[in-house]
Structure 1
Amino acid sequence: MKHSASQTYPPRFDGDFCDRFQDLLIWRRDVRSFRPDPVPQALLDRLLDLIQLAPSVGNSQPWRFVSVESMKARAFVRASFEQCNREALAGFTGERAQTYAGLKLSGLDQAPVQLAVFCDEATEQGDGLGRRTMSETSTWSVVGAVHLLWLAARSRGLGLGWISILDPARVTEALEVPPAWRLIAYLCLGWPQEEHDIPELERLGWQQRTTQGRTVLRR
C-alpha cells in the first residue's frame, strides 16, 4: 500500500474521527432482515482482504471462510436452523415463549451472501506461539476477525447477522471442509431493510442493555 508524502506516521486520529468511530460502534447491529440486492463481488473481496488485518495469536490467522452459495447447502443450513429453533422455543414458557416465537432469528431466506467461518485448529502458521498454554486463543482470534468484518461491513452500509441457532457438527459435515476446521460462526451479509442504532432484542423487549458487563477488578 502506497502512502502519501503528506501523511504523518504514525497517523493521528483526531476527535472527529473518534466521534465517527463511536457512531460506527453504535450503528453496528446484528441484522436479520435484508434486501435482495446483491453485494458486488469487488466489495466482498475488499472486506475479506481487510479481515487479514485482524489480530491473531502468534500471527496464526486461523480463520477460514466458506462462501455458501448452492441451493442445496443453503437448504441444509436452513433445515438445521429450523430444527434447532424449535428445540430452543421448547425451552421457554409463558410470555418468554411468546416473545421468542415473535423474534426474527434468521436472515437465511434473504441474505445474498452467507459465510461459514471456521477455525483451522491444525494450522502450522505461527508455530503454536501463544497456543500451547491457552489453545482457545485460536478461536478468539477467529471471533476477532468476525468482529472486524462486522465493523468494516457496517462502514460500507452493509449489515451482518450472526446465526448461532444451528447444529455445528451437521453444518460442518454438510459443507465438506477439512476435519481440523471447527465452525465458529455462520454469517448472513447484505443490505439491511431497516437501520437502527438499538439492538433488535432490546427494541422487542427481550433484553435491555445494562452496565453489568463492565466489570473491573483491581488487585
Structure 2
Amino acid sequence: MTIAARPETLLIQGMLARRTTNGSFRPDPVSREHQHLLMRVAQAAPSHFNSQPWRFVLIENSQTIQEIARISGESMTELIEAGVFFERYRRYFRFSEAEMNARRDGIHIDHLPGPLRPFTRQVFSDAGLRLMRQLGVPRKLGEDNRRLVAGSPLLLAALLDKTEYHPGELSGFYSVFGLGAAIENIWNAVGALGMGIQFVSTPMEIPRQWQAIGGLLRVPDHLELMAVYRLGYLPDEDRRPAIDWSSRHRKHLEQFVSRETCDLPETEPR
C-alpha cells in the first residue's frame, strides 16, 4: 500500500513504518522534552470510562539500568541453556523467505553466528541446542542481551493500577487493553523523534527475576508491573545481535479479515 506524502497522511505513514529496535542505541540521554511527549501520547490513549489505569516509571539511573541489564542477560542465558525459550516459541520461527511468504507471520531467523549457519533448520532442535551449549551460544546471547539493555539511555516500566486491574474480570481485560493502546501510541511516536523501542521480555519468563525488577523499582502493593521497555535515539548504523531476525511480513487481508461474518474472507487487489 502506498500513501501520498500529504500532511494528513503522515500519521498513517508513521504507523505503517513502525519498527522494533533489535540493535543498540546512541548513548545520548533522551531529552526530558521527548520523555514527557511520549508520556503525553500514552495519556491520549483510550481507556474504559477514562479510567487511565496505566502508570509509568522513567528510568535513567545508570545503576538501576545496569542491574536490570544484568537480570535480563542472566534470564536470557538461563532460558536458552535450558531450552525453555525455544520450546515455548518454536512455532513462531521461520527459516527461509519462502516460508515467511507462505505464512506471513512469525520471525525469519536470517542472522546466525557462523558455526550455526550450516544447521539453520536444526538450530532450535534438541541436537541444535546441544551444539549451541558446546559453542557457548547461551552465554553469548545473554551477554548480547545484557549489553543492549545496559547501553540504553532510558528504560520505561509500564504498570497497572490494581484498583482497576482485576485479572479474570472484564476490568482486567479493559485495563490491559488500555495499557496496550497507551504503549502502541508510544511505539508509533518514537519514530518521529528519531528513537527506537524494544520490549525487555526475558525477565518476565522467570518469576524470581521479574520479582527482582519489581523490587528494584519499589513497586507498591497497589500496582502491578506489566512490562519494561528500552528506548533511545537510533544510531546511523545498526549492528545486529549474534542471533537476529526480521519480522516485516504481514498477513494478506483474507488471512485475518472477514466480511459480514467469519465465513467470508475479505479480498484485496493484488
Pair in the same fold by TM > 0.5: yes
Aligned amino acid, residue 27 of structure 1? A
* Cross-structure match for 1:118: 159
* Cross-structure match for 1:72: 63
- Within the candidate set 87, 108, 113, 2:149 is matched to 108
- 1:147 CA displacement: 1.0
- 1:169 CA displacement: 2.3
* Cross-structure match for 2:182: 145
- Within the candidate set 85, 95, 108, 2:123 is matched to 95
- 1:140 CA displacement: 2.0
Aligned amino acid, residue 53 of structure 1? A
* Cross-structure match for 1:56: 47
Is 1:121–1:138's contact at 8 Å kept on the other side of the alignment?
Answer: no
Change beyond 3 A, Cα 1:150–1:163: same
**Take 2:228 and 2:236, find their aligned partners in 1: how far apart are those partners?**
21
1:174 aligns with 2:245: no
Aligned amino acid, residue 251 of structure 2? T
Is 2:76–2:202's contact at 8 Å kept on the other side of the alignment?
Answer: yes
| SS at 2:221 equivalent | coil
**Take 1:123 and 1:52, find their aligned partners in 2: how far apart are those partners?**
16
Change beyond 3 A, Cα 1:63–1:74: same
1:211 aligns with 2:248: no
* Cross-structure match for 2:225: 183
**Take 1:28 and 1:195, find their aligned partners in 2: how far apart are those partners?**
18
What TM-score do the two structures reach when normalised by structure 1? Answer: 0.73
**Take 2:14 and 2:80, find their aligned partners in 1: how far apart are those partners?**
33
Q: Which runs of 5+ in 1 are unaligned?
A: 1-13
After TM superposition, the structure 1 stretch with the greater mean CA deviation from structure 2, 142-151 or 114-123, is 114-123
| SS at 2:197 equivalent | strand
Percent of aligned pairs with the same residue? 23
* Cross-structure match for 2:196: 159
What TM-score do the two structures reach when normalised by structure 2? Answer: 0.61
- 1:212 CA displacement: 7.3
The structure whose residues are more often helix, as a share, is 2
**Take 2:145 and 2:248, find their aligned partners in 1: how far apart are those partners?**
17
Aligned amino acid, residue 109 of structure 1? A
1:30 aligns with 2:20: yes
* Number of equivalences: 197
Aligned amino acid, residue 209 of structure 1? H
Q: How big is the alpha-carbon RMSD for the aligned residues of Structure 1 and Structure 2? A: 3.4
1:86 aligns with 2:86: no
| SS at 1:61 equivalent | coil
